[in-house]
Amino acid sequence: MEKISVSLELIIKEFNLEEIYLPCDAKDIKVVRSAVNRPGLQITGYFDHFEEERVQIIGHVEHDYLGQMSSEDRAYRLNEFFSHKPVAVVVSTDLEIFPELMEAAKTYEVPLLRTSTTTTTFLAALIAYLDVALAPRITRHGVLVEVYGEGILILGDSGIGKSECAIELVKRGHRLIADDAVEIKRVSAKTLVGSAPEIIRHYVELRGIGIVDVRRIFGMGAVKMTEKIDLVIKFEHWDQNKMYDRFGLDNETTDILGIKIPTITIPVRPGRNLAVILEIAAMNNRQKKMGYNTAEEFNKRLMGIYEGKGEDR
């Protein structure tokens, strides 16, 4: 599988970095790790477990340490550091670029950049950006909508009515994120975020009508670029011989990129208002996250009545 990467050019544009030295076009330099490093130990000569794929950030501590050295010692330490070919080095807080720093970067052809942002702020922002840009991802056939603040991924066979349901939800004031293909990224140990491929973003395919531009027809408030996935709804054709969960006590989940997402299977047949059902599902899921489970409370009430009758006997 091809390794996910982000070009240094995009990072430079995102953070408005000053290009001190680039050995080649920034778009050809790829960053593949979301973790970054402050090379204090490496400047002292310790390189065990050093990962050159990480972006290196030189802040006040590293800069002051280098500044206390003689020119010869500084050149030696920096040449030793740059000889390990880190993917890029960023100097924070508009700190001075030592001549030895520039010389080492050129000698070993390592990109050297600078930012006016403080070290801690830049480090946190860069990690957050790379976590999303380099997140593990897959594409699933389905529809992603936001309903009452809940991101709902609708899955089901082609032609079962996913897009029609999405349009009805948009008409009712909710928002479309993606139709047909949903790009899903795992941005943390607990969070999945979905979006649409750029070429089909804000479009919906309705059989018999064709392609519909949701943003132009319903306005900017009807669409959204990305949304976390809180709930999976699976549409399937109604099977009268199948027993469906009628109380909501079943805790079905769908594993996506190693994260288990609460899942509800909705049988589809003529006459069912799927948009209303999804609205209720969204509100019920939100209620569960706030600590109240209607199905469990109802079951407790039934058990209480049953036990009470048993005592009367």
Active site residues: 141, 162, 180, 246
C-beta separation of 104 from 71 below 8 A: no
d(CA 262, CA 270) in angstroms, rounded, equals: 26
Size of the chain, expressed as the number of residues it contains: 313
C-beta separation of 199 from 242 below 8 A: no
d(CA 68, CA 271) in angstroms, rounded, equals: 78
Look up tokens 């047909």; give the residue.
Answer: 180
Residue 303 φ/ψ region, left for φ over 0, alpha for ψ in the -120 to 50 degree band, beta for the rest: alpha
CA distance readout (Å), 268 to 147, 199, 234, 238: 19, 30, 10, 5
Q: Which of 101, 106, 130 lies closest to 37, judged by CA?
A: 130
Are β-strands 89-91 and 55-58 bridged in parallel, bridged antiparallel, or unpaired? parallel
- Beta strand residue intervals within the chain, DSSP E: 6-7, 18-21, 30-31, 36-37, 55-58, 89-91, 112-114, 137-147, 150-155, 175-186, 192-195, 203-206, 210-213, 226-228, 231-237, 253-256, 259-268
d(CA 286, CA 29) in angstroms, rounded, equals: 43
Instruction: Give me 159's structure tokens.
Output: 């032609």
Look up tokens 């079905």; give the residue.
Answer: 252
Give 226's DSSP letter: E
Give helix 8-15 / helix 119-133 axis angle, nearest 10°. 130
